[in-house]
Structure formats: C-alpha cells, structure tokens
Amino acid sequence: MTTITQRTTATVFDFATGARSVALLLLRISLALPFYFSGLTKWDGFLRLSDNAIYLFTNEFKLHLFGRMIDFPFPAASALASAISEIVVPVLLVLGLGTRFAAFAALGMTAVIQLVVPDGWVNYHLPWAAMALSILLFGPGGLSLDALIRRAAAKSQE
C-alpha cells in the first residue's frame, strides 16, 4: 500500500512541477511579447535606430513627475537604451536566461513607461508589473536555460 501511495504522490508532484514550468514559460512569453514588438518599431534595420524613435523621445514622450511634464534627459541616448532593452530583455525572458535580472529590467521599463503614459496603468502597466514580480518571486521554472545551467552545475559537482 505504501508503494502505491508513494507512486501516486510522486506522480502528482511531477505533474505539478511540469505544470508550474509550463505556466512560468507562458508567463515569461506573455511579458516578453509587448516589449519585443515595441522594440521592433524602434529599429530601421540591423543596428540602425529609427528616426521616429529619436523624434518620439525628443518631442513627444514626456515624464509626468510632480504634476509637471518634463523632457527626457538625453533623448537620443534614451531612445537607443529603450530600443536595445526592448529587444534584449524579451529574448532573455523567453530563453529563461538571466531571468530574474530580465524580469527586474522589465519592471523598471514598466515604471518608466508608467511615468510617460500615466493613463495606461490599468490595462497595461499593472499586468506587466504583476507578471514581472511573479517571475522575480517564482523564478524562470524548469523550462529555461537558467534551470538547464543549474542542473548542469549540480551534476558537475557530483
């Protein structure tokens, strides 16, 4: 009787672990997609920043701080940093490589976007922040390069 109970318990735990890994993969992809597609709009080709991106950071995007609208400091550099981050961070999230770092970066980008578009908090920024915080809390899951590296490191120390 004990072996049946042990096998059943092991099966339930295996299923739960697998379901958790799939859920965390889907969470990482869900957080990555909007940033990645936004990042694609900031490039005119391979390593060529779009003139539109620079224009937006120079003339359109303003930081809403303390009841005032403030210009972005160093708009060209801000546009470049945004464009790079919005491509690199989502790729890291989907691959599950440096996942907690990438989730923290996504949370930071969400905070800056909230300062630029304060009306988007309910539909966009709040869910993005919740997803990023969940990834920070629970990690990347088993379907990630982080987990693969962790397993390889543990195996090499045996």
Beta bridge partners of 45: 48
Q: Extract the tokens encoding 47.
A: 């390593």
pTM: 0.88
d(CA 76, CA 23): 38
Q: Which pLDDT tens digit goes with each residue over 46-91?
A: 999 999 999 999 999 999 999 999 999 999 999 999 999 999 999 9
3-state helix, strand, coil in the chain (%, to 5): 75, 10, 15
Contact (CB, 8 A) for 135 and 31: yes
Tell me the angle at which helices 75-95 and 99-116 cross, rounded to the nearest 10 degrees.
140
Contact (CB, 8 A) for 80 and 93: no
Q: Which residue has the higher pLDDT, 78 or 16?
A: 78
Binned at pLDDT 50, 70 and 90, residue 158 comes out as confident
Q: Which residue has the higher pLDDT, 2 or 126?
A: 126
